[in-house]
Amino acid sequence: MAQILVVDDEVGIRELLSEILADEGHQVMLAESAGEARRLRERARPDLVLLDIWMPDTDGVTLLKEWAASGLLTMPVVMMSGHATIETAVEATRIGALDFLEKPIALQRLLATVKRALRSPEAAAAPQLSLGALGRSPALADTKKRLAQLAQSGAPLLLRGERGMRPELFARLLAAPAAPFLAGAELLGEAPSDLLGKAAGGILFLPDLSRLGRAEQRNLEFLLARAEKHKARLVSFSPVDARALAEKHEFDAELAARLGELTVRLPALREFAEDVPDLASLMLAQLVESRACPPRRLSIAALNALRHHAWPGNLAELEGVVKDLGLGSFEEEVQLEDVERALAARAAPAALPEVLLDRPYREAREAFERVYFEHLLSREHGSMSRVADRSGLERTHLYRKLKALGLPVGRREE
C-alpha cells in the first residue's frame, strides 16, 4: 500500500512498528539513526515517516529542520517520543510535522494516525523546486537578499534577466508562506475580478512580457489599476528592458514604464555557478521523488562537470540535462561520462551575435572573445589546462582574460 520509513534508535520499537505496519499491508523501511534516515531519504521518497525525537546522533527535530531547509520535506512526518515537552511538539508542528505520537504508542492511535497522514495533501504532493535553501554564490545570495527586502512592498515588480532563467522560482521568494501564487500569461484571459479575488494577499506572476499581445496588455493595465485595492501584487519578467519592449515587441510604452518602476536583475546561471551542484542535486531528487526516474545520485566528478559548464540556456538547460541524466544513466550513481554524453548531445556550434559586424572594433572583438571562450570552457568541461592548450594562451594570461570578460574560471588540475 504505502512505503513508510520508521526512524527510532530502540530496536524493540522499530521491530514492533514494522510488524504492525507490515500486517496492514505497508512496505516498511527501518533506520536506527538520523544518519541512516538521511541516506534512505536520499535514495527514495517514502509516503510517510515516523520519526523519533530523541536519538543519539541527531535529534528528530533537527533532522526535520534539515529536510525542510533542503526541500526534502515533501512527505508527511509524524514525530514520536516518550518524554517530549509541549514546546518540542509545537516546534515540530511549526517546522512541518503533521502529528505527534506519545510513547508507548497505542495500537488504535497508531493506525488512525497513519491512515490520516496517508490521506493528507503532503502524501500525494509532487515536490517543488525551490531556491530557498540555496545561496552559496554571492550573486544568488545578494539577489535573494534584495528580494527579501522587497517582499514587504506591494508595488509592481519587474524581474529582468536572460531567457531560460525560470523567473517563477525567484518570484516565489516574494510570496509569504501559504499566500496565493498565480502564474502564467493565460491568467490574463480570466475575468479580472475573479483573478484578483484568487490572488488577494498574494502574487500574480506574468512570466514574459515580451510575448503579450495588445488584448492581453489591456487586461494587464486593468489589473494593474486595481491590484492594490485587492492586496494582490503584480510581479512580471522580461528578457529586455522597457524601451526594447516598446520598440521591438509592440508593448505599450507607458504600461512598460509603470511595470518597471521597481526592477531587479536576475543573475544568469553562469554567475552563480557555485550553486549548480546543489541545484542539480535538487532537480534530480525531484525527479526521483516524483517517480519520474529510478533512484539516482550525482557523483562528485559529475557535479564538478555541471558546475563548470557555461549554461547558455540557464536553468531551463540545466533541468533538461538533469532529466537526461536521470533517465539515461545506466547506474545509480551518475558519472562524469554520463554528463559529457548529455552535454555533447545538446552542443551546437557557437554562433556569433547577429549585430557583431555593426559594432565598433573593440566591442566586436570582445563579443567574439566571449563566445570563443564560452565554447572552449563548455567543450573542455572547465579544464583550464585544456582551454589554455586549445587557445594557445599562457595560463596566467588566460585567467586574466576570462576575468576581464566576466566568464567563470574553470577548474584547476594542479
Examine the domain organization and report whether 142 and 261 are in the same domain.
Answer: yes
Q: How confident is the model at residue 20 (pLDDT cuts 50, 70, 90)?
A: very high
Examine the domain organization and report whether 66 and 150 are in the same domain.
Answer: no
Whether the predicted pLDDT of 383 surpasses 70 = yes
Q: In this structure, which amino acid lies at residue 325? A: L
Mean per-residue pLDDT, 15-25: 94
pLDDT of residue 88: 81
Chosen domain end from 124, 152, 177: 124
Chosen domain end from 305, 326, 346: 346
3-class SS at 29? strand
* CATH number of the domain encompassing residue 220: 3.40.50.300
Q: Which three cell numbers mark 335? A: 558519472
Q: Which three cell numbers mark 345? A: 548531445
State how far the Cα of 66 lies from the Cα of 72, in Å rounded to an integer.
8
CA contacts within 13 A on the Cβ side of 32? 4
User: Is 316 within a domain?
Assistant: yes
pLDDT of residue 247: 87
Mean per-residue pLDDT, 382-390: 82
Whether the predicted pLDDT of 185 surpasses 90 = no
Whether the predicted pLDDT of 168 surpasses 70 = yes
Whether the predicted pLDDT of 123 surpasses 70 = no
pLDDT of residue 354: 56
State how far the Cα of 31 lies from the Cα of 51, in Å rounded to an integer.
9
User: Is 300 within a domain?
Assistant: yes
Examine the domain organization and report whether 93 and 185 are in the same domain.
Answer: no
The residues with which 238 forms a beta bridge, in sequence order, are 160
User: Is 414 within a domain?
Assistant: no
How many domains does the chain divide into? 4
DSSP 200: T
Examine the domain organization and report whether 95 and 34 are in the same domain.
Answer: yes
Examine the domain organization and report whether 150 and 87 are in the same domain.
Answer: no
Examine the domain organization and report whether 200 and 256 are in the same domain.
Answer: yes
Q: What's the gap between Cα 255 and its chain centre? A: 31
Whether the predicted pLDDT of 414 surpasses 50 = no
Examine the domain organization and report whether 206 and 325 are in the same domain.
Answer: no
Examine the domain organization and report whether 158 and 242 are in the same domain.
Answer: yes
Q: Which three cell numbers mark 204? A: 500574480
User: Is 120 within a domain?
Assistant: yes
Q: How confident is the model at residue 217 (pLDDT cuts 50, 70, 90)?
A: very high
Q: Which three cell numbers mark 58? A: 541527531
pLDDT tens digits, 330-351: 998 999 999 999 998 887 655 5
State how far the Cα of 2 lies from the Cα of 400, in Å rounded to an integer.
56
Whether the predicted pLDDT of 40 surpasses 50 = yes
Angle subtended at Cα 149 by Cα 167 and Cα 122, rounded to the nearest 5 degrees: 55
Question: Which range among 134-143, 366-375, 400-409 has the greatest average pLDDT?
Answer: 134-143
Q: How confident is the model at residue 355 (pLDDT cuts 50, 70, 90)?
A: low
User: Is 186 within a domain?
Assistant: yes
- Between 40-44, 47-51, 57-61, 200-204, the lowest mean confidence (pLDDT) is in 40-44
State how far the Cα of 75 lies from the Cα of 47, in Å rounded to an integer.
6
* CATH number of the domain encompassing residue 362: 1.10.10
User: Is 189 within a domain?
Assistant: yes
Mean per-residue pLDDT, 91-109: 89
- Residue, of 261 and 348, whose pLDDT is higher: 261
pLDDT of residue 192: 77
Examine the domain organization and report whether 209 and 288 are in the same domain.
Answer: no
pLDDT tens digits, 290-333: 778 888 889 999 999 999 999 999 999 999 999 999 999 999 89
Helix axes 300-307, 276-289, angle to 10 degrees: 120
Residue 50 CB burial class (10 angstroms; 0-12, 13-18, ≥19): buried
316 Cβ contact list (under 8 Å, min separation 6): 163, 164, 165, 166
149 in Cβ contact with 143 (< 8 Å): no
Q: Which three cell numbers mark 203? A: 502574487
Q: What's the gap between Cα 402 and its chain centre? A: 28
What's the domain range around 279? 270-346
Q: What is the mean pLDDT of the chain?
A: 87
pLDDT tens digits, 262-286: 999 999 999 999 999 999 998 998 8
State how far the Cα of 57 lies from the Cα of 253, in Å rounded to an integer.
60
Whether the predicted pLDDT of 393 surpasses 80 = yes
User: Is 382 within a domain?
Assistant: yes
Whether the predicted pLDDT of 382 surpasses 50 = yes
Examine the domain organization and report whether 16 and 117 are in the same domain.
Answer: yes
Examine the domain organization and report whether 22 and 116 are in the same domain.
Answer: yes
* CATH number of the domain encompassing residue 31: 3.40.50.2300
pLDDT of residue 320: 95
pLDDT of residue 252: 92
User: How many other β-carbons are positioned within 10 Å of the β-carbon of residue 376?
Assistant: 23
Chosen domain end from 124, 150, 169: 124
In the chain, % helix, strand, coil (3-state, to 5) comes to 55, 10, 35
Whether the predicted pLDDT of 255 surpasses 90 = yes
User: Is 413 within a domain?
Assistant: no
Examine the domain organization and report whether 115 and 232 are in the same domain.
Answer: no
3-class SS at 211? helix
State how far the Cα of 233 lies from the Cα of 224, in Å rounded to an integer.
9
